[in-house]
Amino acid sequence: MARWDEILSLPVQNPPSLEFSAADLVWSKVEGWRDNIDRVALIPYARVDDFVRGESSNKDCPTRFHVEARRKRPLEMAYKPKVDGILEYILYWCSFGPDDHRKGGIVRPSRTNYVPKKNNAGRPNTKRGCTCHFIVKRLIAEPSVALIIYNQDKHVDKKGVPCHGPQDKKAAGTRAMFAPYISEDLRLRVLSLLYVGVSVETIMQRHNECVERQGGPTNRDDLLTHRYVRRQERSIRRSTYELDADDEISIDMWVESHQSHVFFYEEFSDSEPFTLGIQTEWQLQQMIRFGNHSLVASDSRFGTNKLKYPIHSLLVFNSDNKAIPVAWIIAPAFGSTDTHRWMRALYNRVCTKDPSWKLAGFIVDDPLADVLAIRDVFQCSVLLCFWRLRHAWHKNLVKRCQETAMRVEMAGQLGQAVDSICRGNGNMDLFQSFMDDFVEARHFMDYFKAVWYPRIGSWTAALKNLPLASQETCAAMEFYHNQLKLRLLNEDNTSAYQRADWLVDKLGTTVHAFFWLDEYSEKEDFSRYRKDEWASGLTSWRNALKIPDSDVKLEGKFAIITSQTHRDIVHIVWNPGSVFSLCDCDWADMGYLCEHVFKVIKVCRERGSALPSISLFQYKRALLDMLHCPPHDSLVRDHAISLAVFIEKQLSSLIDEGSSNITNKPQSIRVISENQGGDLVEERNENSSSSSDGHNCVDTSETPGRTTENLGGHLTDMAVEPNGFCNETGKENCGKMDVDGPSICSLTPRLLHVEEAPSNGFLLEKRGSDSISKTTDVVNAPSLGGNDLADFKA
């Protein structure tokens, strides 16, 4: 009995890495299991797979663990309430055991019908009597927790001799040197290449060339077989999206067989419309990697006109600030889906993997987005990106207004209207006068009145109230939108678009594969297969950085810019300096912001002929507002000083960082900031609860440097990738600042309202104090864990 008390009082360990192994856990020894001393640890039940994966990629002895035995208690089954009752029991065994098919090895009686194959090319004879195994128990007393019991943690056979891996001398030169199966990464790579149409032969040829270059096989992945790839190819070829003639039943079946890709599913009911949230394991990893302390953007509707159900994508930005889709939500366009529920499900899924995961800002592209739900779930600021509006206007101007002079003027006036509203000097009347001024452009006006005028009120309100995302974000969203169009809507038979099962299948296979390959560094090896769908490269914003100033000539009402691909061609950019510029290149003709427009904006700003961007303007205004807000009592003032000093430090380190280094240096500032933010929250809570002692606050404000250094020193290995803060040159500060300005700018106004502060913004969120203690755990894991154990023993 005492043993169970001991076990249940152990800490539940949740390492922050995507996968983790026994080495990342603190193990407690427990006596009494058949006189053995077992090593036990508690982890969240939802992370058992992460542990199994981590254990499999053991550096000293790579392997794979399979489920050797499993018992599950049916939910309805009555049980006696006892402390050690279990819901589920899973025995994981090293795949090199437990049987031993080596000469003279022991095979369990039930398996004696095994006949060793003469040729092991197909299914290598992997069983070598390995005894390494562990048990996972899910206890009735604590179903959210998994108890791991490690019985045998060495990869040895019954005699205690290493039986596979580098330690096993007999394994040298055979497959038993390596893990028995290929890695998840290679499996995904092969599948992705097959999905996008690369042939089995090409995959194998590239693979063999690569292995040859490195001088022979050095790990399991190098032993990829032609047969394996061909089998995958065949199963893809033979699969069909139409699992049932009835689309709804078909979707049900898809969900059933793709549980790991579904984070939310609700069938049609009287109260709720159909909603399906898709996120693969890889997408989850990208969301954790690029979303943490950074931004998520929402592309709220794709394919409204073409597809049965439009797609709502959630995007993160990689190190090139290109969008990667990390979740797709499919729901009917009509009726308001309860965003709160799928968002909560998604957030919980991410936090199960990484409890310290935290968003800095959420960018919406729809003025009717449920901002309250976003703030409630993600506890972060919400920004607005108007790319959808600008793109639609631009595209329709090109389509519906043939006369260049008129088109240019209309774009200019629309641009000024948006600009004035965002800078706080205008309202809806501006669009009314726009419609009055251009009555004669009938084609466009009919469109504008029908489609946009009914929505312009909500757009105006959103442009006024939400901080604006940068132009680089617009460029990334447009780029993604175009990629998705090329990769999804390319069916010969367009009747498929009216089936939801086709949509989920295509997203989960081909479309996912293309986005996976975008992040795969050796994608170029297959570039001769390049079709439109492969379109990759950088966003137009990033491409603009490569255009030399000397290629730009400003001529008053327009600018002339030399093409980078064909030096004998020039492009004309009308309305230079505005995001409502019009260019005559192909990309701009489709309604997108092209590199020429961005380059001209940059040149105009440098020469002072264009205003700084709206996001930079809003950022500066927020700083000024903060300066002019006198705190109403002395304690609040102390708190305000500490925050102001902290933010000032944060900003100057960003600028230092920006001017002193280029990409790839870990970006530790945001991590530091959160911890210090946590500090401040703690301070503040103390103050508000005891309301007696103000000097804690003052301490913080006097010594932020010290805190920063300490935390910074410890936390560098937790640092996130630079994502927009790092600048290639000092000159680009301004332009780059556009990217992240809003996330800061949206925070600063909130800092004024101290009452509101703890529940809003990412600096001062409720869990701030939680996260600091968790982070400390991570930093000091070994010693802390040791202490815990000592306490437990005592």
Q: Which is nearer to Zn ion, 137 or 571 (CB)?
A: 571
288 makes contact with Zn ion (CB under 5 A) = no
CB of 107 to Zn ion, least distance (A): 16
Instruction: Compare residues 164 and 289 and give the one whose CB is closer to Zn ion.
Output: 164
Choose which of 27, 51, 96, 444 interacts with Zn ion (CB under 5 A).
96
Contact letters for Zn ion, residues 402-421 (x by CB under 5 A):
--------------------
Of 55 and 638, nearer to Zn ion (C-beta) is 55
Site for Zn ion (CB under 5 A): which residue of 390, 596, 649, 684?
596
Rg of the chain's alpha carbons, rounded to an integer?
29
Residue 489 CB, shortest distance to Zn ion, in Å, is 24
Cβ neighbours of residue 762 under 8 Å, at least 6 residues apart? Answer: 293, 358, 359, 360, 361, 379, 380, 381, 674, 677, 747
DSSP 613: P
Identify which range of 449-457, 518-526, 590-598, 770-778 contacts Zn ion by CB under 5 A. Answer: 590-598
Residues 521-560 vs Zn ion: string with x where CB under 5 A?
----------------------------------------
The smaller minimum CB distance to Zn ion, of residues 289 and 599, is found at: 599
Sign of the torsion angle spanned by Cα atoms 584, 590, 595, 598? positive
CA distance 40 to 37: 9
* Span interacting with Zn ion, options 431-439, 592-600, 627-635, 746-754, rule CB under 5 A: 592-600
Q: Is 474 in the site for Zn ion (CB under 5 A)?
A: no
Question: Minimal distance in Å, beta carbon 583 to Zn ion?
Answer: 3
Query: Least CB distance from residue 398 to Zn ion, whole Å?
Result: 12
Is position 594 an interface residue for Zn ion (rule: CB under 5 A)?
A: yes
Nearer to Zn ion by Cβ, of 585 and 711: the residue is 585
Q: At what angle do helices 387-400 and 471-488 cross, to 10 degrees?
A: 70
Helix/strand number for the chain, H first, E second: 29, 17
Q: Is 585 in the site for Zn ion (CB under 5 A)?
A: yes
Q: Supply 468's token pair.
A: 């604006």
CB of 108 to Zn ion, least distance (A): 16
Residue closer to Zn ion by CB (options 96, 195) is 96
Strands 361-364 and 295-302: parallel
Residue 500 found at the interface with Zn ion (CB under 5 A): no
The nearest distance, CB 157 to Zn ion, in angstroms, is 9
Least distance to Zn ion, CB of residue 93, Å: 8
Length of the chain: 794
Per DSSP, the three-state class of 382 is strand
Going 307 to 310 to 314 to 319, the CA torsion angle's sign is: positive
Least distance in Å: CB of 133 to Zn ion?
Answer: 9
Contact pick of 52, 94, 147, 200 for Zn ion (by CB under 5 A): 94
CA quadruple 732, 737, 740, 742: dihedral positive or negative? negative
CB-wise, 138 or 596, nearer to Zn ion?
596
Taking the CB of residue 115, how many other CB atoms lie within 10 A of it?
A: 6
Task: Supply the minimum distance, in Å, between the C-beta of residue 540 and Zn ion.
Answer: 8
Angle, helices 669-690 vs 768-779, to 10°: value is 130
Which residues ranging from 56 to 85 are in contact with Zn ion (CB under 5 A)?
63
Q: Shortest approach of Zn ion to residue 751 CB, angstroms?
A: 40
As measured in angstroms, the least distance from the Cβ of 124 to Zn ion is: 15
Give the chain's end-to-end CA distance (angstroms, integer). Answer: 17
Closest distance of CB 65 from Zn ion, Å: 9
Closest distance to Zn ion from the beta carbon of 22 (Å): 13
Number of residues that bind Zn ion (CB under 5 A): 12
575 contacts 411 by C-beta, under 8 angstroms: yes
Question: Structure tokens of 424?
Answer: 């706080």
- Burial (CB count <10 Å: 0-12, 13-18, 19+), residue 362: buried
Whole-number Å distance between alpha carbons of 209 and 213:
6
Which residues, 161 to 190, sit near Zn ion by CB under 5 A?
none
CA distance 105 to 126: 12
How far from the centroid of its chain's Cα atoms is residue 206's Cα?
30
593 binds Zn ion (CB under 5 A): no
Enclosing H/E stretch for 365: none
Q: Quick one: the chain helix, strand, coil %, rounded to 5?
A: 50, 15, 35
Shortest distance in whole angstroms from residue 35 CB to Zn ion: 24
Residue 394 or 596 with smaller CB distance to Zn ion: 596
Our CB check for Zn ion shows the closer of 339 and 581 to be 581
Site string for Zn ion, 626-665 (x = CB under 5 A): ----------------------------------------
Residue 588 interacting with Zn ion (CB under 5 A): yes
Adjacent-strand bridge partners of 36:
33
Query: Interface with Zn ion includes 583 (CB under 5 A)?
Result: yes
DSSP per-residue letters across 173-213: TSGGGS-SS--HHHHHHHHHHHHTT--HHHHHHHHHHHHHH
In the list 155, 189, 523, 684, the residue contacting Zn ion (rule: CB under 5 A) is: 155
130 binds Zn ion (CB under 5 A): yes
Decide if 741 contacts 616 (C-beta within 8 A). Answer: yes
490, 506 in Cβ contact below 8 A? no
The mark string for 131-150 relative to Zn ion (x by CB under 5 A, - otherwise) is -x------------------
If binding is defined by CB under 5 A, does position 127 make contact with Zn ion?
no
Between 481 and 499, CB nearer to Zn ion: 481
Cβ-based nearer residue to Zn ion, 602 or 639: 602
Q: For strands 311-317 and 133-139, give the pairing.
A: unpaired
Q: In what order do the strands lie in the sheet with 262-266?
A: 262-266, 275-278, 323-330, 311-317, 295-302, 361-364, 381-384
Q: 197: Cβ–Cβ under 8 A, 6 or more apart, which residues?
A: 529
Cβ 559 to Zn ion shortest distance, Å:
10
Q: Would you give the binding string for Zn ion spanning residues 297-336, x where CB under 5 A is met?
A: ----------------------------------------
- Binding stretches for Zn ion (CB under 5 A): 63, 94, 96, 130, 132, 155, 571, 583, 585, 588, 594, 596
